Structure 1
Amino acid sequence: MENKINSMKKYKNYIIGAGILIIGIILGNVFSGNDNTKTSHSEEEHNYVQDPVTKLWTCSMHPQIRMEKPGKCPICGMTLIPVDNSSSSEEKIGDNEIVLTAEAIELANIQTSIVERASATKEIRLLGRVKPDERRLFSQVSHIPGRIERLYVNFTGEKVYRGQKIVRIYSPDLISAQKELFEAIRSRDIYPQLYTAARNKLKLWKLSDSQIDAIEKSKKVQEQIDILSDYTGYVMKRNVELGDYITEGSSLFDIADLNSVWVMFEAYEADIPWIQVGNIVDFTINAIPGKNFKGKVTYIDPFVSSSTRVAKVRVELKNPGNKLLPEMYANGIIKAKLTNIKNAIIIPKSAVLWTGKRAVVYVKVPHEKTISFVYREIILGQDMGNFYIVAKGLKEGEVVATNGVFRIDASAQLIGQKSMMNPTGSKGNTGGMAGMDMGGDKKEKETKTEMNDAEMKKMVMIDKSKIDPKFKSQLGEVVDAYIHLKDLLFDGDFAEAKMQSKNVEKALNNVDMLVLLGDAHNEWMKDLKKMNLQVTSIMNAKDIKNQRISFAKLGPELGKSIEKFGFKNSNKPLYLEYCSMKDVYWLSYDKTIKNPFYGDEMPTCGEVTKEYKN
């Protein structure tokens, strides 16, 4: 009995000891893990904050971002890089300067050009047509009234020569004049003046001496007489028919002498100040390939056409062989020079941003190590083709950005500095740091934002055909991830929808915004921020109801992006669908309605409102 009691005490002690040991191990692991986590966290914070070399982190595309820890850019989602403070501490940066890192310069492909002085020359290209020389256009008329008995010239374009028979007419007046001549011939010895007067009467009717001599020799009255051409040239128009009665002065034919022609070029009103009488025009004729022509400007029309806004510029040209025919097309080039401007300040056209009212350039600030640009409005002079003359605003030797100018302007807009769309530099629409609300008068800020957005919407022009196919394919992947999320919400699968929202976020962040330029880049950044906000809300939602609320806002935003940029997938049709019961839109690959907001309750509630095409 005593042994049994001792054995029980021994087992009890073993059990207590084992329990104490297990509890000790558990507590040791807990406290040991916390210490490790704390130590690791402290070391991590120490490395980020106390590093004497790298204290701030920035974005290579948006250098206005300054963070105390590495991570992602809050604007574009790019990985932050360390800030090099070695130069900024030595150089003074102005308030209006847009500072760019070397990486941003390279990624944006920003190029610059030195402002220079040069002669104001321009190569002007002109279109024109060959025209008859108006000084060599003739109207062949009849000097004798009568009736057309015969046409020797029958069609337009026929060539006639001076003295050639063109028509034969019957004329009672001519018969009377011949009788008077014969009477004067019989009394010529007594009244020589009557003979001379009768002969001159026939000459005034443009009968030649040989014709009059033939009449005298025949001693017979000729009832019909041939009319001879007064000019050499081509018939442009025949004005009479056989049997027509004509009066003295009636036009028989219009004749053009094409031994010399005009080439009438059309100059736009902006080019007229460049063109001077005496300028050499090198031109070609489309109908005569391989041959170059050259002539001088002899006349500039003093009037501009109200309908075409062009003025005529005339070049006179000899036309041996009559190879240049009226209405042939000509292409000319004038290397013109403004005589009233010497040593003009010029800049490339690519350096200028137009707002409709203002011309804007970004001038590089002369720092030794820091790369920065400053906004400047200028007044432009004449257009020189690939260059502009600067009338006011720039000096010789200054450096302006000529490529990637839109990206510099986008950076200025993001930080609320002077920019193409914000010439006053007001920060009402950005609130200080881009993408962050820094407080202030909310009503005033909303008013300014609304005005700026309205102005921006008018100015933004995105050509979907010029969007990089790579970007469209990546946006198509976002659509694929979105459709999968839509199907999960239709099935009512809260957990899987939460997981799929992470895939949507990943697809959004994989879209390469660097392939977009100018307005397209800025618009995508706005859209991306809105979509990421809704995706985050879906990820953090506590139930499927809240997931669907955020999903209802995500669909229209994605649809707007597709409208702006287009998308590309495996040629699946994409539809925008609408439910009037909940007043919500969503995207789907299937025309058959599967409402993600009602699920099993009303799965077919909705209709297709639009189709997007690849």
Structure 2
Amino acid sequence: MKNFQKYRNYLIAAGILIVGILIGNLFSGGDSETTHKDGEHEYVQDPETQLWTCSMHPQIKMEKPGNCPICGMELIPLEESSSSSESIASNEIVMTEEAIQLANIQTTVVKESNAAKEIRLLGRVKPDERRLFSQVSHIPGRIERLYVNFTGEKVYAGQKIVRIYSPELISAQKELFETIKSKDVYPQLYTASRNKLKLWKLSDKQIDAIEKSGDVQEQIDILSDHSGYVMKRNVELGDYIMEGQTLFEIANLSTVWVMFEAYESDIAWIDINDKVTFTIQALPGKTFAGKVTYVDPFVSSSTRVAKVRVEVKNPNNKLLPEMYANGLIEAEMSNVDDAIIIPKSSVLWTGKRAVVYVKVPHEKTISFVYKEIELGADMGDYYIVESGLEAGEVVATNGVFRIDASAQLVGQKSMMNPEGGVVMTGHNHGGMDMGEKEQMEGEMKSKESKDHSEMLDDTDHSRMEKRLEVSKIFKEQLEEVFGNYLNVKDALVKDDANTAKKHADELLVSMEKVDMKLLTDHEAHNHWMTISKEIKSSSSSITKTSDIEKQRGHFKHLSAHLSKGVRLFGVNKEVFEQFCPMADNNQGAYWLSLEETIKNPYMGSKMLTCGTTESTLKK
């Protein structure tokens, strides 16, 4: 009996164990599991369905653990979540919140707005051309006295300006005296004699004085016909003058013109009667206002500007010709309503294409898509979008270049690669077999060759526009950047990777000092936006590696874009553009130098003098 009770207890315990196992399998799905430990975290994976991704590049999905093919970071298991149920298009650049914060990516909503713009103008005060006069002599003779002796003297209408001796005037006075004797019989002759003197611009008061004296006056005073300031004196004491000869040039400054210069990109914004407020550098603390009365229909072929005229009353004669003026127009395009506008910082500009990255409206996933747009008028800090965007869409405004770099690295459409395609990164391609790697390398070699030829086209002197006019301060700031570039170049010549990193960091510091606001010209501003991003990117890449061959690869791109900047803006120095055909695996590469003697930064001590001077960039 006791044995039976003992066996029954064993059977009950075994039954409970079996039931527990069955219940456990039921709730756990009955699948075999393995765990993978990554640092401090343990991840449970299904060896048949588990995918691996990169924490910084979630678009990467691999079937095996390894390193990210973009950044080289160790892959982590892809965790299924509600976001995975969202439909992610193949052309989307997916980014994690961590990546967004690291790249400092910011966005803004595309909106509709009136086409308004602040136009800043530089100009000078000029005399009103309708109030410029030439004071001439209406009587031939010799100057016996000058009442106006110097340029800038103020004269008034009716004021004596010179005294002359004139034989013709003496004869005319004798004729007058003869007609006076017979004016009762021949009044017409008397009237004609007086009119002859009037035609010589003698006043009635002067003629009456001659009649009253009864004597012929050998000298007569010439009176000014106009009021104003003497701009030029054309005669000296003792000069013999002809009838109609200019004695003085006089300017009436009661009204003056302020002639501003408007860049051709701003002309479409300026209309007649637009209000202009301006200040005069010589009169600090005072603000003047006027209206646009004329816009020059011609643009200067040398300066690319057109004249804009503002008329201003000048009762106290405070505004003097050639004073400098700074003007401001709050302009609106009258024929444009509800324009689609975006910040300039959201646009990647290649010179041919304008590119933006639009945020995709997912609930959980953060992603962007590449879009090419057509830009309209420049609104200062904004562009008008002619086509490609709609109001309400969200575009990236900060960190745009980093989104584009991510797109390029994963082979999607990007600013420099509008067709898309795989890009080599130099990292280990986890999850790829040797055949896939060789295929990718072949594609990249072809692409790099194409990119190189395009880069040479960009720096080809024959295709460059003539140098753009920029301020002296901007050119000095660019000259400091160029000086640090030369230091990087010299370090590479000496095969010194650490020093190259140091000077590349100094180059980045000098780039932060370059004030883009000094580029008021639309074309110059757009060029520098593109060039500066490339320079910063290449310099930053040099600072992040001690591998001198990788540094030289980044230096090639740095040189290409800085060369374009030097061509466009100048650096107050004569610069030599030099070329090594053996650099970059015989693809060739350019660099800039102040010395015509070849010192090759791509070969260093191996082939120091390899290369030729291809062109000279003037100051």
Pair 1:197-2:201 in alignment: no
In the other structure, the counterpart of 2:390 is: 395
The structural deviation recorded for 1:459 is 6.5
1:80-108, CA deviations, whole angstroms, 9 ceiling, x for partnerless residues? Answer: 55544314420111111111111100000
Distance 1:525 1:298, change over 3 A: closer
Structure 2, gaps ≥5 residues long: 1-33, 460-477, 512-531, 560-604, 611-619
Please show how residues 540-551 of structure 1 align to structure 2 within 5 Å: none
Asked if 1:126 is matched to 2:121, the reply is: yes
Partner of 1:319: 314
1:468-515 per-residue CA deviation (whole Å, 9 max, x = no partner) reads: x9xx99xx9xx999689xxxxxxxxxxxxxxxxxxxxxx99xx9xx99
What aligned pairs does 1:316-465 form with structure 2 within 5 A after superposition? 316-427=311-422, 438-440=437-439, 446-455=445-454
Aligned to 1:220: 215
Distance 2:300 2:539 in 1: 44
Q: CA deviation at 1:249?
A: 0.7
Alpha-carbon shift at residue 187 of structure 1 (Å): 1.6
Q: Look up the SS of the partner of 1:89 in the other structure.
A: helix
* Aligned-partner residue type, residue 271 of structure 2: Q
Counterparts in 2 of 1:75 and 1:358: CA distance versus 1, 3 Å: same
Structure 1 partner of 2:130? 135
The answer as to whether partners of 2:70 and 2:425 remain within 8 angstroms in 1 is no
8 Å contact from structure 1 (residues 120, 343) kept in 2: yes
- Kept in 2, the 8 Å contact 1:375–1:418? The answer is yes
Cα shift readout 1:149-173 (whole Å, capped 9, x = no counterpart): 1111111100001111101111111
Given that 1:464 and 1:565 are in contact with CA atoms closer than 8 Å, whether structure 2 keeps it comes out as no
Q: Which residue of 2 aligns with 1:584?
A: none
Q: Give 1:410's aligned amino acid.
A: A
| Pairing 1:188–2:187 present | no
2:534 to 503, 509, 519: 519
Structure 1 residues 44 and 447 mapped into 2: Cα distance closer, same or farther (>3 Å)? closer
Deviations 1:390-441 (A, max 9, x none): 0000011111111100000000000110000111113376799979753438
2:176 corresponds to 1:161? no
Q: Please say if residues 67 and 428 of structure 2, whose CA atoms lie closer than 8 Å, have aligned partners that are also in contact.
A: no
Give yes or no for the alignment of 1:285 onto 2:280. Answer: yes
The answer as to whether partners of 2:54 and 2:76 remain within 8 angstroms in 1 is yes
Distance in structure 1 (CA, Å) of the matches to 2:396 and 2:72: 26
Counterpart Cα distance in 2 of 1:481 and 1:431: 22
2:89 counterpart residue number? 94
Secondary structure of 1:451's match? helix
Q: Given residue 114 of structure 1, which amino acid in structure 2 is its aligned partner?
A: V
- In structure 1, what is the Cα distance between the partners aligned to 2:607 and 2:442? 38
The residue type paired with residue 251 of structure 2 is A
Q: Distance in 1 between matches of 2:262 and 2:245?
A: 38
| TM superposition score normalised by structure 1 | 0.69
What's the CA shift string for 1:517-557, capped at 9, x where partnerless? 9536764797799x78xxxxxxxxxxxxxxxxxxxxx5454
- Tell me if the contact between 2:86 and 2:362 (Cα under 8 Å) persists in the aligned partners: yes
Change (3 A) 1:296 1:524: closer
Q: TM-score, normalised by structure 2?
A: 0.68
Deviation at 1:609, TM superposition (A): 7.2
How many angstroms apart in 1 are the aligned matches of 2:325 and 2:479? 36
- Supply the distance in 2 between the matched residues of 1:89 and 1:607 (Cα, whole angstroms): 54
2:297 to 279, 297, 302: 302
Matched residue of 1:270: which SS? helix
Per-residue CA distance 1:444-489 (angstroms, 9 max, x = gap): 65333310244357669xx89779x9xx99xx9xx999689xxxxx
In 2: Cα distance, 1:233 partner to 1:296 partner: 24
Q: Do 2:58 and 2:95's aligned partners in 1 also have CA atoms closer than 8 Å?
A: yes
Q: Measured at CA, do residues 43 and 425 of structure 1 come closer, stay the same or move farther in structure 2, by a change above 3 Å? A: closer
Matched AA of 1:447? S
State how far apart, in whole Å, the 1-side matches of 2:427 and 2:336 are: 45
Evaluate the alpha carbon distance shift between residue 527 and residue 61 of structure 1 in structure 2; reply closer, same or farther with a 3 A threshold.
farther
CA distance in 2, matches of 1:69, 1:528: 32
- Matched letter for residue 413 of structure 1: Q
SS in 2 for 1:135: helix
Instruction: Give per-residue Cα distances to partners, 1:563-583, cap 9 Å, x unaligned.
Output: 8889xxxxxxxxxxxxxxxxx
User: Is the CA contact 1:118–1:342 (under 8 Å) kept in the aligned structure 2?
Assistant: yes
**8 A Cα contact 1:267 1:310, kept in partner:** yes
Determine which of 179, 196, 205 is the counterpart of 1:210. Answer: 205
Cα distance in 2 for residues equivalent to 1:94 and 1:607: 49
- Distance in 2 between the 1:98 and 1:396 partners? 22
* Corresponding residue of 2:251: 256
Conservation of the 8 A alpha-carbon contact between 1:410 and 1:518: no
Residue 236 of structure 1: how far off its partner (Å): 0.7
Q: For the Cα contact (< 8 Å) 2:110–2:392, is it kept in 1?
A: yes
- Measured in 2, the distance between the counterparts of 1:95 and 1:432 equals 23
1:109 aligns with 2:104: yes
Cα 1:206–1:291 change in 2 (3 A) is same
Partner amino acid for 1:296? K
* Alignment partners' CA distance in 1, 2:428 and 2:363: 26
Larger Rg: 1
Structure 1 residue matching 2:81: 3-state secondary structure? helix
What SS does structure 2 have at the residue aligned with 1:281?
Answer: strand
- What is the DSSP-based 3-state SS (H/G/I as helix, E as strand, rest coil) of the residue aligned with 2:401? helix
Where in structure 1 are there 5+ consecutive unaligned residues? 1-41, 485-506, 533-553, 567-604
- Tell whether the 8 Å contact from 2:69 to 2:428 is kept in structure 1 after alignment: no
Match of 2:228 among 205, 226, 233: 233
Q: Aligned partners of 1:207, 1:322: CA distance in 2, in Å?
A: 31
3-state SS of paired residue (1:412): helix
CA contact (8 A) 2:422 2:440 kept: no
Opposite residue 236 of structure 1, the aligned amino acid is: M
Q: Does 1:174 align with 2:173?
A: no
Contact 2:135 2:225 in 1 (8 A): yes
- What is the root-mean-square deviation in Å for CA atoms of aligned residues? 4.2
Residue in 2 that maps onto 1:269: 264
Q: Deviations over 1:79-137 (max 9, x none)?
A: 65554431442011111111111110000000111111011111111111111111111
Question: How many Å apart are 1:62 and its aligned residue?
Answer: 3.6
Question: Distance between the aligned counterparts of 2:96 and 2:316, measured in 1?
Answer: 68
| 1:62-73 equivalence runs, <5 A | 62-66=57-61, 73=68
- Deviation larger for 153-162 or 307-316: 307-316
Distance 1:198 1:528, change over 3 A: closer
Q: Which residue of 2 aligns with 1:495?
A: none
Q: Does structure 2 retain, via aligned residues, the 8 Å contact 1:407–1:518?
A: no
Quickly say closer, same or farther: Cα 1:528–1:324, change in 2 above 3 A: closer
SS at match of 2:329: strand
Aligned position for 1:585 = none
Q: Secondary structure at the match of 1:184?
A: helix
| Counterpart secondary structure, 1:308 | coil
Instruction: Give the whole-Å Cα distance in 2 for the aligned partners of 1:483 and 1:213.
Output: 99
Change (3 A) 1:303 1:606: closer
Count of aligned pairs between the two proteins: 479
- Encode CA deviations 1:337-358: one digit per residue, 9 max, x unaligned: 1010100111111110011100
Residues 519, 318 of structure 1: CA spacing in aligned structure 2 closer, same or farther, 3 A cutoff?
closer
- Greater shift, 431-440 or 230-239, is seen at 431-440
Equivalent positions of 1:65-84 (< 5 A) are: 65-66=60-61, 73=68, 75-78=70-73, 83-84=78-79
Percent sequence identity over matched residues?
67
1-structure distance, mates of 2:163, 2:444: 92
